[in-house]
Each structure stands twice: as structure tokens, then as C-alpha cells.
Amino acid sequence: MPATEAASPHAFASSAALELARRVLAIEADAVRALIDRLDERFLAAVSLILGRRGRVVVSGIGKSGHVARKVASTLASTGTPAYFVHPAEASHGDLGMIQAEDIFIGVNFLDYSGYPDCRPEFIEAFERVANLATQAGVEGRSRFRVHAPLITLTKAQIVARAYELGVDLSLTWSCYEPEADGRACGLCDSCRLRKKGFAEAHLADPVPTAR
């Protein structure tokens, strides 16, 4: 006797699945289209930087941004710009020696430690020690790796104020973990609430709109 649709563990509503898939593609397509208006002199600056380089382009990232970074490196390499990918975790086990740079900058902040223990000063200090112990250049004293985390002990309000002082375009920044279908920040998740508090305490307006 054939199994009924309801009895199958893989049963799903075909029309709902198609509707969802179409909606996902439409959202992704809109997001790509929205990038057209964001191409400006900053893109030209990046192109100029890459064309004017002496060595190879190093692309790095972890988690999903690591997958994207690996793809970017491979596309650059196959289209004539020598590039390679460095995994940030493997960098601390010797791969930093590939980059031939001594100063590493990271924008982590200790207030995010509950979800990200690697945002704490203890981790950054330990990483720096390991980087110097795990690379030939560090052990031989030819290089001294330093990890700079200029935002690590600031409050969110201080970070917002500093960004305004430096003229950073905060409309290009993103904090929300649970955005609405139309792309707006939810305004309710932990990250949105921390961001709102930071802007409020800095007495500055957030250029990124939220749904609530």
C-alpha cells in the first residue's frame, strides 16, 4: 500500500515550498540589485589598491564569510590578480608567516563576549602570543606580530561617537540577526537593542532604519 503524504517524514506542501523559494530568490535578487547604487569612489579606491599592490591579494574570513572569501580569492586568481585565502584560525598556527605583515587589526568589542568569547582582551592577547610562538618569523625574532583591537574596551556609545568623529558612514553598517522580509533591521533582537542603546547614549541618530 503506498504511503500517504501525511505519513511520510519528508512530506511538505508543494505550493508553499515553491512560494518560499520564489520569495527567497526575489529577496536575494533585490539585494544584488541594490548594490548597483552603492558602487562609488570607494569601489574605485579598492580597485586602485589592488592594481597598485606589490604582492598578492590576501583574502580572509571565518564561517560563512570564509566561504565567500575563499571564492573571492579563487575568482581573483583565475582572472589575473594573484590572490590567496588565509583562514584566520590557521593563521595562528603558522599561516601568518604567509602574509608577511606584522600588524593585524580587528574590530571586536568585549561587550559581545557572552556570545563570542573570542571578543575578550584575554583571547586577543593569547592569539598574539600564539602567533609569535607558532611562526618561524616570530620565533626567530624576524617579525613581531601585533594584534590591534582599538574598539575592544569601548562602550557601544563610545564606538558610535568615535565613528562620527572619524566620518564613518554608519548607514553601511549592519547589526541585526533577525531582519524583516523587506530587509529592515528588526529592532528587537539582542544586537539591535545593543545598537539602539549605543546610539541613544551617544545622543546620535542611527541612519539604519528598524522595523520597530
Binding site for Zn ion (CB under 5 A): 176, 185-186, 189, 192
For Zn ion, give the closer residue by CB, 148 or 193.
193
Nearest approach, Cβ of 121 to Zn ion (angstroms)? 27
Show Cβ contacts of residue 199 under 8 Å, excluding neighbours closer than 6 positions.
Answer: 157, 160, 205, 206
Nearest approach, Cβ of 109 to Zn ion (angstroms)? 17
For Zn ion, give the closer residue by CB, 119 or 176.
176
For Zn ion, give the closer residue by CB, 130 or 211.
211
Nearest approach, Cβ of 24 to Zn ion (angstroms)? 19
Residue with cell 522595523: 211
Handedness of CA 159, 164, 166, 170 (dihedral sign): positive
For Zn ion, give the closer residue by CB, 74 or 191.
191
* Residue 196 near residue 187, CB atoms below 8 Å: yes
* Residue 204 near residue 161, CB atoms below 8 Å: yes
Report the C-alpha gap between 20 and 161 in whole angstroms: 41
Nearest approach, Cβ of 189 to Zn ion (angstroms)? 3
